[in-house]
Amino acid sequence: MDISKEHDSSTHLRKSLFEIKTNGGANACVVCKHPETELSCDGKGCNRSYHLSCLDPPLQNYPGAWLCIFCIKKKIEIGVHSISEGIDSIWNFKEELQNGKHYFVKYNGLAHIHNQWISETLMLQEAPTLLSKFKRKYYKERAIRWKQEWTEPHRLLLKRLLMPQKLADGLFNGLANSFPKCYHEWFVKWKGLGYEDATWELETSPVLCTPEAMTLMKDYEARIEAKTAFDSSKAEKVVYDME
């Protein structure tokens, strides 16, 4: 879907989404227009800022990238690459007789599950310096260190609401069943990678719809229940000790 179609399909949300005004200043909160914001959107080219308490529902200071409702909508309709700032690194190379040279690239802020093969022509347009560095390193070492396991969820760390359900229903109803309804996203730690490489993934992402992912979700819910029970027991003990 191109940008023009994305723009047209967003018209039905104009009345339910809060309007952006520029008279509050570049760093003013989109909602209340006051300064000293605590959160800025990490979406490509987005400079919207917010107070945590102004969001609906109010947001905790979660780890990892955070997207405003406009960029979430863009991510759902156009795809995850639409909100990335571009190519982050090159991890593989192939040359075909008919299609020429292609490079396996990772994008800024996205997990390896979203890596893509792109042509050398496109690489020269988007990341020529990165391409030159890769060529020097590849021709010297002749080694590829990318691992398939980096695309496999190892643990689900957190779960959060994308937007209020009423607003999400309005969004998906306006898309005429073109996309599965999605209300949450998961903070995923990937196999073979550290916690610093964890990323937020939509609950409708194919990688989170497998039997293995369902098991990880059950494990997460069990951990939350155990923690809630422990905290409740601890609170009761404190009250008992005070009596």
Closest to 109 (Cα-Cα) out of 129, 86, 131: 86
- Same fold across 85-148 and 150-242: yes
- Asked if the 85-148 domain carries CATH number 3.30.230.10, the reply is no
Domain 3-81 class, CATH top level: alpha beta
pTM: predicted TM-score of the whole model, two decimal places: 0.79
- Out of 3.40.30.10, 3.40.50.12280, 2.40.50.40, 3.40.50.300, the CATH code matching 150-242 is 2.40.50.40
The gap from C-alpha 210 to its chain's centroid, in whole angstroms, comes to: 19
pLDDT band of residue 21 (cuts 50, 70, 90) is very low
Tokens for 178? Answer: 């073109």
SS (H, E, C) the chain: CCHHHHHHHCHHHCCCCCCCCCCCCCCCECCCCCCCCCEECCCCCCCCEECHHHCCCCCCCCCCCCCCHHHHHHHHHHCHHHHCCCEEEEEEEEEECCCEEEEEEEECCCCHHHCEEEEHHHHHHHCHHHHHHHHHHHHHHCCCCCCHHHHCEEEEEEEEECCCHHHHHHHHHHCCCCCCCCCEEEEEEECCCCHHHCEEEECCCHHHCCHHHHHHHHHHHHHHHHHHHHHHHHHHHHHHHHC
Give the model's pLDDT for residue 211. Answer: 96
Give the model's pLDDT for residue 27. Answer: 77
| Most confident of the ranges 11-15, 18-22, 132-136 | 132-136
Give the model's pLDDT for residue 80. Answer: 94
Give the model's pLDDT for residue 26. Answer: 60
pLDDT at 7 over 50: no
The answer to whether 89 and 130 are in contact (CB under 8 A) is yes
Give the model's pLDDT for residue 154. Answer: 97
pLDDT at 236 over 70: no
Q: What residue ranges do the domains of the chain occupy?
A: 3-81, 85-148, 150-242
pLDDT at 4 over 50: no
* Amino acid code (one letter) for 116: Q
Tokens for 240? Answer: 């008992």
Tokens for 52? Answer: 């945590």
Average pLDDT score over residue span 109-123: 96
> What phi and psi, each to the nearest 5 degrees, are found at residue 110?
-110, 155
Distance of alpha carbon 44 from alpha carbon 127, whole angstroms: 16
Cβ of 138: how many Cβ atoms within 10 Å? 15
pLDDT tens sequence across 162-218:
887 788 888 887 776 677 888 899 999 999 999 999 999 999 999 999 999 999 999
